[in-house]
Amino acid sequence: MVKEKISEISGRKGIRGVASLAGPFLMVHGVMHIILLLSPRENGGPGNFLTQNGTSWLLDGLGMDAASIDLFGTALVLVAALGLITGSFGLICKMRTVVWRDAVLVSSVLSLFFMMAFWSDWFVAGAAIDIAAIALALKYRPMTGSVPEKVAL
């Protein structure tokens, strides 16, 4: 039903209709990662808005120090942003390869992991976008031929 609505809105069928909506949306989501990474903390302290000066409820328990957590979080955001932007170009340019799907899938999973590790109430919309991007990438990702058609018992 949702696929038909998207096709109806965009006037196209299949991935082409979805690409005209999802491509720019994923591009903005990737750029937003970078903008928030460059933003100062809410309380004006050192570090950026996203990593909050190396505090993470998940990574603190692994024995990492604040500088390592900050560096790890920053790297996660940069890789996720790069992958989302790359994947969005694949969607916008209507590439018929699996590369854009893999870029969106991996980047969205990394972004979701980051949001889980450095949770803030600001991340609710981003987490929803990442989940939708994962669903999109999985829906339009062709299955490999590695699974046999029949499994003998």
Mean pLDDT of the chain: 80
Dist CA 118 CA 112 (whole Å): 10
Tell me, yes or no, whether 13 lies in a domain: no
> CA separation (Å) from 122 to 10, 33, 35?
30, 12, 13
Read off the pLDDT of residues 11-62 as tens digits, 9 standing for 90 and up. 445 555 666 788 899 999 999 999 988 888 766 665 677 887 778 888 888 8
Say what the pLDDT of residue 148 is.
Answer: 46
Q: Which residues touch 67 (CB under 8 Å, ≥6 apart)?
A: 54
Helix (H, G, I), strand (E, B) or coil at 148: coil
Please, which pLDDT band fits residue 132 given cuts at 50, 70 and 90? very high
Tell me, yes or no, whether 131 lies in a domain: yes
Sign of the Cα torsion 21, 22, 24, 29 reads positive
Domain ranges, residue 118: 32-139
Tell me, yes or no, whether 55 lies in a domain: yes
Tell me, yes or no, whether 5 lies in a domain: no
Neighbours of 5 (CB within 10 A): 10
Dist CA 7 CA 16 (whole Å): 9
Tell me, yes or no, whether 121 lies in a domain: yes
Dist CA 113 CA 111 (whole Å): 5
Helix (H, G, I), strand (E, B) or coil at 136: helix
In the predicted structure, residue 3 carries a pLDDT above the cut 80: no
Tell me, yes or no, whether 39 lies in a domain: yes
| Contacts of 7-11 spanning 24+ positions with Cβ under 8 A | none
Domains identified in the chain, total number: 1
Tell me, yes or no, whether 105 lies in a domain: yes
Closest by CA position to 108, among listed 52, 26, 35: 26
Tell me, yes or no, whether 17 lies in a domain: no
* Minimum mean pLDDT range among 8-17, 36-45, 93-102, 115-124: 8-17
Say what the pLDDT of residue 58 is.
Answer: 86
User: Mean pLDDT: which of 37-51, 60-74, 86-100, 106-120 is highest?
Assistant: 106-120
